[in-house]
């Protein structure tokens, strides 16, 4: 295989992966932007604000967390892009979603090994939230 063939093969694979990422990211960006524009995001963020505030996040960051928890990281990235978040907030979201992302699919896979689905999901979400709170507290001390 020549260098040109390798380059073209890599380029095709890159376009394929990029298109999959865009398919997840773009609709969530538009959805969050729309929800923000019509004022709905403010209404639902009120519900989650007590928890997100402990993590140093605005209430509307719940959309980012829920999309990352339930689907995967790409919708969460699209949701984050539509918000004005600081470096600290983006870091906290990244850590939280690094612990608890794609919970449904990964939970089903783990349940095949004998682990209870609700235990796995609960543990990962609770650990992620506690970690988010701790990172916020430590960041504020520095």
pLDDT for 41-79, tens place per residue?
777 778 889 999 999 999 989 989 988 898 888 888 888
Residue 96 pLDDT: 97
Q: How far apart are CA 130 and CA 7, in angstroms?
A: 45
Q: Model confidence over 75-106: pLDDT tens digits?
A: 888 888 888 899 999 999 999 999 999 888 88
Q: How far apart are CA 54 and CA 130, in angstroms?
A: 9
Q: How far apart are CA 102 and CA 90, in angstroms?
A: 18
Would the pLDDT of 131 be above 80?
Answer: yes
Residue 90 pLDDT: 95
Sequence-distant (6+) residues with CB within 8 A of 57 are: 85, 89, 92, 93, 132
């Amino acid at each position: 295989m020549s260098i040109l063939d390798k380059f073209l093969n890599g380029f095709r694979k890159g376009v394929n992966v990029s298109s999959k990422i865009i398919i997840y990211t773009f609709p969530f960006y538009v959805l969050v932007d729309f929800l923000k524009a019509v004022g709905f995001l403010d209404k639902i963020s009120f519900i989650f604000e007590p928890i997100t505030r402990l993590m140093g996040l605005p209430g509307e960051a719940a959309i980012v967390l829920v999309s990352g928890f339930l689907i995967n990281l790409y919708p969460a990235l699209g949701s984050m892009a539509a918000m004005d978040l600081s470096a600290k907030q983006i870091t906290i979201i990244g850590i939280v979603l690094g612990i608890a992302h794609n919970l449904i699919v990964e939970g089903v896979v783990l349940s095949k090994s004998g682990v209870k689905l609700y235990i796995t999901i609960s543990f990962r979400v609770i650990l992620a939230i506690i970690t988010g709170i701790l990172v916020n507290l430590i960041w504020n001390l520095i």
